[in-house]
Amino acid sequence: MGVAGPGEVRCNYETYRSAYEQLSFEHLEPVSVKGKSEMVDVYRPTGNVRLPQQLAQAARDWAGMELVGRQPELNSLLTHLDALQKNGRGGVVLIEGEAGIGKTRLATELIKHARSRKLEVRLGIGRSIEQNIPFRAWRDLLLFAVGNSDQTSPQDLVHNIWAKIEPVDPGLLDYLFLLNDIYPLDLPESSLAAVLNDDARYQKLAVIILALLGAHSKAQPIVLIVEDAQWLDPASWQLAAAMARVVLDNNLPVLFVPVTRPVENTNAQLPEIVPGVNRLRLDTLSTDDTLALVAGPLGLTGNELPEAVVELIRDRAGGNPFFAEELFYFLHQNGYITFKIMQNKRRCLITGELARAAQSLPSTIQSTILARLDQLPPEKQLMLKVAAVIGQVFAFTTLRDTLRKNIDISEPEIITDLNDLIYLGFIQPESTGANLTYSFKHTIIREVTYQSLLFDRRRQLHRTVAEWYEKTFSPETHTGLFELKPDIDPNLTVTRSLPPSSVPLAPFYTLLVYHWHQAEDEAKEQYYAALVGKQAVAQYANAEAMGYLRRALDLTPPDNLADRFSLLMASETVYNRRGDRERQEISLQQLEEIVEASGNSHWTIEFLLRKANFDESVGRYPQALRSAKMAVSLARQLREPELEGDAYLMWAQILLAQGNFADAQNRLDHVLALARTHQFHQIEAKALLNAATIYLHQGKYTHAQAHSEKALYITDLRHIQMQKAQSLNLLGRLEFYQGDYQNAHDLYEQAAPTYFVLGSRRGEITTLYNIGMLRMKQGQFEAARDYLEYALDIAREIDHREGVAASLTELGVLYTQLSDYTVAQGYMGQALGIRKEIGNRFGEAESLSKFGMLYYHQGENQTTRRYCDLALQIQQNLGAAEGESFSQTYLGHALAGMKKFAAAESAYEQALQLRKKMGQHVAAIDAKAGLAYVSLANDKPERAMSLVEETMSFINSHGIVGITDPMLVYLNLYHTLAGAGQDDPVIMSRAEQLLATAQQVLQSIAAEFTDQKIKKRFLNKSRIHQELTAYFEGRQPPPQIPQHQQGKTKETFST
């Protein structure tokens, strides 16, 4: 080039790029060149051999380097690896040392050796900028086990977790709510939460994490490493301590290795608080080892460094390898040393006054980095500061565009400067190609760089970065920000006013909240916090949603009614799902104030529907009805068919809750017509499910099945998860009532995870209640008790009064069957009181009929009759066939006990007709056995014997599972056979065989109890069980046929 003087060499950018890794260049002022319209960059090779770029690569990937100076510590770790690999014996090792002492290098060597032994390795990293995010490092550890929480929906995370845990330890499923601390899952807490203190809570969480990582068996040893643990939040340290205890106390095949600087946090003192933890403290390196680390990447040895340089580094670095490296960079960066090839060998040469350097050298790592930063040209300083604002890892495009907002710089210049910063040891490349990214070489470098920014400059850079994300990733169809409309769908399954999650900017919404917060732009922070919060609600990430919604509300001015209404509606949705009635009511009060101030009719309807839903949930049916009716009227006035459909649907749900089936069905017919006309799919599915519930109570199972299956089809097709779970639950109830308990169980199990994912406490109550009833039908009384008590706890917690009453009623039935009548009466009395108070006529009748069952077991036939008559008055009026058949059966039992055989026969006949109409073959057995006995008493021996044969044949084929009172069935059959066989030894022999079978069944049921007190009460306190046992042991003579039947049985039954 013509610009070079005699004996000088100048080159253009292309030549510079070709030789950059071999030679060092000086960037000169651009010049004008003939034939070129633009100025041309000029470079002068200085002759010095540049530190090869492989230095940065070596620093980033130590796998290719020999470990220096840490062999004793490595040997200690390898001993643990050998024990883990050969014997499945784990342990806990705390690697501790000052910043830059070589902890990460040692941990990297451990990872290399673990992988060479084919051991699984999981790595978590503490981050200084994420100390306010609880358990952040544990998400890293679980990344490959459950998925990336930043890219995986809460629903998918829960499904992944469920699939991992269930085959390993189903008992842990009850504790999955503990993972809410790590992921924004918002899984509802079980009643077990109340009995867990902090230590037990963290230890159970540690067990779950280990199960997710697959460290639950000796065949799967694993190495868990938590790097930069000094940045862990206190809760993460408590979990680390719990993890250490679990590993050590249970001899698990896990090597748990936290890596940390010395910290004052008492929770971090694992060896002191957890016996058996090994502390591996890294002290300073010897001078030789320190120099070997510094010189090695350059192809030199410590002995090849000038003595003056050796002495300076030895005195100042004090054996800290990272400090030594920074000092080495400082000396080179400031021209005190340089490197040249002499006689084909690289040499380190002193080119400045080291005595002056000794006076100016900083005394700490941080001050050394800051001094080196200050030595950089302004554009390189700015480049590092912009990168520090972006994050520990930063994309080239983000850096480039942000820089250009502050200085005039070309892309080649940026790349040149970045390579210089790699050369100087500030940063390192992470990925190449289209997604070119870099990272800071050490977190300390980023921390010092970020803290060096003045607050005003920091705010400005955060603003520039945020604006870059908005401009770069906003859809082309939008010139600015998305408008947030206030019309939030009550169920938030589809939120029309929100940008779709698939827009390019969506992955960065949370990041934008952070940048705008740091930029102190409250309007923008409010916008993105609202957006993230509402989308989290739509994705059922309820816990995460509330954090952002609260922040958005705090930033929203009081006079901005539209945004406040929108945010409060979203918040109320979450509180409703979680059953947080106190906060839900506060949100409703705030919404009411906004509605009154605005006069907006649409908002009024949405508020009235939310208010009606709240009142229905807590059992305030009259208030709920008023709100629903007002919403219907307003929606019709506005000619808003969707709001009208929602309002009519709410009206129908309240009527259904009251047991007013006829009026509810009328409203549902209107809703279905409206939904189908306008293709409101979710409203149609809800209406179908409510109608199916009515048909279920009425015993119209074919209709209920058709409506439930149609709802399931719609919800599956449209991905409406809440109503899909409700469809599965309702189909399970149908199978339950028709005696197919395995199918019922399978359907309930399908519904359960969805309710967990969506955070629906009411849905969880329904599933637990259903499974509890199923277990009781199967004779698994202790399991049934646990499920029902769990349902009761949640119902009380969220103030779901009908849920409380339903759980209490079935617990009363359970304790009746366990012969604990005092407890049973207490539960049933509470339930009946609640149902009368809230005006649930259907539930009131159910409680009355179950009271009849209780008094029958106590031998109080007259009281049984009175309660069953009261129940039947309501049930017959409502058309509740399922409940009516139960009441008729126990009315028949009571009348038979009172020797009113004709009336008893009529009651049994009506019960059987209802059961037959509903297709309930199993549930009919109780009435059929009772009818056999009263038929004999009513001089119908042929029919009596025919019913005995039918009943015994069914039991022989199907067993007793599903029969309400199996021992009473056996007793009625024995009474019939014994009465009929007074003069016939063949029939009497059958009676005795039946009695022996009954005794075996009774003992087999009792053998299932783990609590001996319950077992003893079950066997000895029930009059039915006592009577059967007395007959079997011969302490009581066989029963006699009623007087008017004697003399007519031998001829009939002798054959």
The number of residues in the chain equals 1055
Do 522 and 609 belong to one domain?
no
CB atoms within 10 A of CB 1043: 7
pLDDT for 304 equals 79
pLDDT for 93 equals 93
Q: Can you list the pairs that 305-313 forms with residues at least 24 positions away whose Cβ atoms lie under 8 Å?
A: 305/348, 306/337, 306/348, 306/349, 306/350, 308/350, 308/354, 309/337, 309/348, 309/350, 309/354, 312/354, 312/357, 312/358, 312/361
Which residues contact residue 147 at a Cβ distance below 8 angstroms, ignoring those fewer than 6 apart?
Answer: 156, 157, 160
How confident is the model over 579-618, as pLDDT tens digits? Answer: 889 999 999 999 999 999 999 999 999 999 999 999 999 9
How confident is the model over 612-669, as pLDDT tens digits? Answer: 999 999 999 999 999 999 999 999 999 999 999 999 999 999 999 998 999 999 999 9
How confident is the model over 398-449, as pLDDT tens digits? Answer: 999 999 988 999 999 999 999 989 988 899 898 877 789 999 987 788 888 9
CA angle 119, 124, 129 (to 5 degrees): 165
Three-class secondary structure of residue 40 per DSSP: strand
pLDDT band at residue 62 under the 50/70/90 scheme = very low
Show which of 793, 811, 837 is a domain's final residue.
837
* Alpha carbon distance 901, 897 (integer Å): 9
In a domain, 1, yes or no: no
Host domain of residue 230: 70-281
Alpha helix (H) residue ranges in 98-150? 103-116, 136-141, 143-146
In a domain, 703, yes or no: yes
In a domain, 58, yes or no: no
Do 133 and 237 belong to one domain?
yes
In this prediction, residues 1033-1037 reach a mean pLDDT of 86
Do 138 and 267 belong to one domain?
yes
Which residues contact residue 776 at a Cβ distance below 8 angstroms, ignoring those fewer than 6 apart?
Answer: 784, 810, 813, 814, 817
CATH number at residue 92: 3.40.50.300
How confident is the model over 17-54, as pLDDT tens digits? Answer: 444 444 555 667 667 665 554 556 676 775 433 333 33
Residue 460: pLDDT over 70: yes
CATH number at residue 609: 1.25.40.10
* Alpha carbon distance 295, 1047 (integer Å): 116
* Alpha carbon distance 323, 328 (integer Å): 9
- The strand pairing partners of 395, in sequence order, are 437
Whether this model's pTM surpasses 0.85:
no
Residue 328: both structure tokens together = 């080495």
Three-class secondary structure of residue 277 per DSSP: coil
Q: Is 658 within 8 Å of 839 (Cβ atoms)?
A: yes
In a domain, 79, yes or no: yes
Do 208 and 135 belong to one domain?
yes
In a domain, 61, yes or no: no
Q: Is 373 within 8 Å of 449 (Cβ atoms)?
A: yes
CB atoms within 10 A of CB 434: 7
Do 546 and 694 belong to one domain?
no
pLDDT band at residue 108 under the 50/70/90 scheme = confident
Do 476 and 524 belong to one domain?
yes
pLDDT band at residue 1054 under the 50/70/90 scheme = very low
- The strand pairing partners of 42, in sequence order, are 28
- Number of domains the chain is built from: 10
Show which of 434, 453, 472 is a domain's final residue.
453
Q: How does the average pLDDT of the chain come out, rounded?
A: 84
In this prediction, residues 824-851 reach a mean pLDDT of 95
Do 76 and 225 belong to one domain?
yes
pLDDT band at residue 1052 under the 50/70/90 scheme = very low
Please name which of 591, 674, 586, 575 lies closest in space to residue 627, comparing C-alpha atoms. Answer: 591
Give the CB-side neighbour count of residue 139, counting CA atoms within 13 A: 21
Residue 273: both structure tokens together = 């608080």
Show which of 679, 712, 729 is a domain's final residue.
679
Range with lowest mean pLDDT among 512-521, 535-544, 914-923: 535-544
The alpha carbon of 791 is separated from its chain's Cα centroid by a whole number of angstroms, namely 19
pLDDT band at residue 65 under the 50/70/90 scheme = low
**129 vs 648, which has greater pLDDT?**
648
How confident is the model over 505-517, as pLDDT tens digits? Answer: 888 888 899 899 9
Residue 264: both structure tokens together = 């004052």
Highest mean pLDDT among 287-291, 644-648, 718-722: 644-648
Which residues contact residue 288 at a Cβ distance below 8 angstroms, ignoring those fewer than 6 apart?
Answer: 302
Residue 1049: pLDDT over 60: no
In this prediction, residues 467-482 reach a mean pLDDT of 64
